[in-house]
Amino acid sequence: MALNKYSRIYTQDDSLPASQAMLIGSGLSDADLHKPFVGICSTGFEGNTCNMHLNGLADQVKVGVQEQGLVGLRFNTIGVSDGITNGTAGMRYSLVSREIIADSIEAMAGAHNYDALACVMGCDKNMPGALIAMARLNRPSLMVYGGTIKGGTFKGQQLNIVSCFEAYGKKLQGQISDEDYKGIIHNACPGPGACGGMYTANTMAAAIETLGMSVPFSSSSPAVSQEKQQECLTAGAYLRRLLELDLKPRDILVREAFENALVMTTVLGGSTNAVLHLIAIAHAAGVHLTMEDFQAVSNRTPVLADLKPSGKYLMEDLSALGGVPAVMKTLLNLGLLHGDLLTVTGQTLAENLADVQPLGAEQDLLRPLDNPIKADGHIQILYGNLASKGAVAKITGKEGLRFEGPAIVFNSEEELNEGITQGKIQPGQVVVIRYVGPKGGPGMPEMLKPTSAIIGAGLGDKVALITDGRFSGGTHGFVIGHVCPEAYDGGTIALVEDGDWIVLDAGTNTIDVQVDDALLELRRQQWQRPRPNVQQGVLLKYIRTVSDASRGCITDYQEDHVLEPTTPARANLA
């Protein structure tokens, strides 16, 4: 089988001399035109710790690709920093960037007929964007994670990016000096790498490694490490093997693989953003994944890892203990993972883990099954008159299972931030942040700045927050997001008024406002959809094309069309 079955369309057709002339003009030789072309995509850019080193890693990937007799062709796509944009209008572009990344990789690799694809990704939306593109293209592909950042320190205190957001709340309350506030800012991010806790980037990296779309240890090798450099250099050998086997993403991204990823996300106490992203990746792969699947996994899977934001440790601490493969081996031994699924190594998950040691009793980062942090999953799907199509709660066990109280309503994140500054938030309240959903935001921005400010002000365990927006992977507390239908679509969250009594119960998985149905209907008749917050450009296009959160906020949803999986769940490539 020819390994250049896509690129040969351009390189071997005598009727396309201009195509070949441009390739030769770009520095390729006649011999190169007979080799497979590997697109090497990076989301590297300056000005963000998550992405600042990725172009260098992509260069290393190219070295390894060339050593395997393949032609590596580097290109870039965009990235949006959640850490930089959180709490500003720029955050509206964050989730939108996932679609831009997916679309641009698909367009680039599809247009230029690359035979294989390597994506070097860093920040939160980079990785699901790349996986969506890989699944659409369905050509031999793998992802290289840029790696986690080292933890910072200041005056003996361990720091990470969320420390900065929470320091702002402490500053507002006069709990820290301006000097210490600046000291935290200057020391929280000591170099390259994605945010260090089990926030969205590390959650998705671990999920993708568990899916089988990155090589073992990719998700837990620190950004600045010899292991990360070696991973990049060996990517070429794995890509050549994938080409020889003709092993494609949809051979790997089968339903059981997503079940594995959901289990890993739950065990690690991962970000609720995984709900959106894994549903979207599954859609691209032709796998029907729903919020109910997350609930089913949560019902039978405990939270075992003591990782930030709710716990003690960072990803670099897990790396020192054996990384995500050690967790996988532990879970495989417990019968919690499907081991016979193919991965980008060309081997099964179980074969990849054959020589990996499980985590032992000498460490306390991963609890034993009989002493979990939480006996069931932290991701809970709630339904009720406030969320007839579902909402996503992150309940780690520290917040309790039930919260009820009077609503205090804010129609934007800016309103809420102002309310926090003015001291409007009181213990016992349910803070409602609406019109920040996929269409209302637009872009479903994360509410990390206000939640961190509330925690910093000492109210984290005294109020609950619900929103049709998202919560960052760095958020903790009694928080419920992804409320669907969103306010912009006339969901009940749009009808809530200050003082309405709201009951949130993660034990019964319900979310209700205790207002008479007749009064709610009267409010519904009086409700008017606000004008879109934007009048042109990519955000307006997003409003017009994005699905609701229950479907992963995808932009290519078709009501009556389901993409059929192209391969069986398990394949024998021996």
Tell me if residue 81 is catalytic.
Answer: no
Contact 71, 62 (CB under 8 A): no
Exactly one of 214, 472, 547, 550 is catalytic; which is it?
A: 472
| Torsion 247-249-255-259 (CA) sign | positive
Can you say how many angstroms the Cα of residue 307 is from the centroid of all Cα atoms in its chain?
Answer: 16
Contact 478, 462 (CB under 8 A): no
- In a 10 Å sphere around its CB, with 0-12 CB exposed, 13-18 middle and 19+ buried, how is residue 535 labelled? exposed
CA distance 435 to 10: 48
DSSP state of 246: T
Q: Is residue 424 part of an annotated ligand binding site?
A: no
Q: Is residue 541 part of an annotated ligand binding site?
A: no
Instruction: Pick the closest to residue 91 from 380, 381, 417, 389 (CA basis).
Output: 417
CA distance 335 to 350: 11
Q: How far apart are the first and last CA of the chain?
A: 16
Q: Is 326 helix (H, G, I), strand (E, B) or coil?
A: helix
CA distance 444 to 430: 20
16: Cβ contacts below 8 Å, ≥ 6 apart: 9, 10
Q: Is residue 376 part of an annotated ligand binding site?
A: no
Q: Is residue 195 part of an annotated ligand binding site?
A: no
Q: How far is CA 124 from CA 18, 207, 250, 443, in A?
A: 39, 12, 22, 14
Tokens of 45: 């850019």
Looking at residue 181, its amino acid is Y
Q: Is residue 14 part of an annotated ligand binding site?
A: no
Q: Is 307 helix (H, G, I), strand (E, B) or coil?
A: strand
Catalytically active residues are 472
Residues forming the annotated binding site for [2Fe-2S] cluster?
50
Residues forming the annotated binding site?
50, 82, 124-125, 446
Residues forming the annotated binding site for Mg(2+)?
82, 124-125, 446
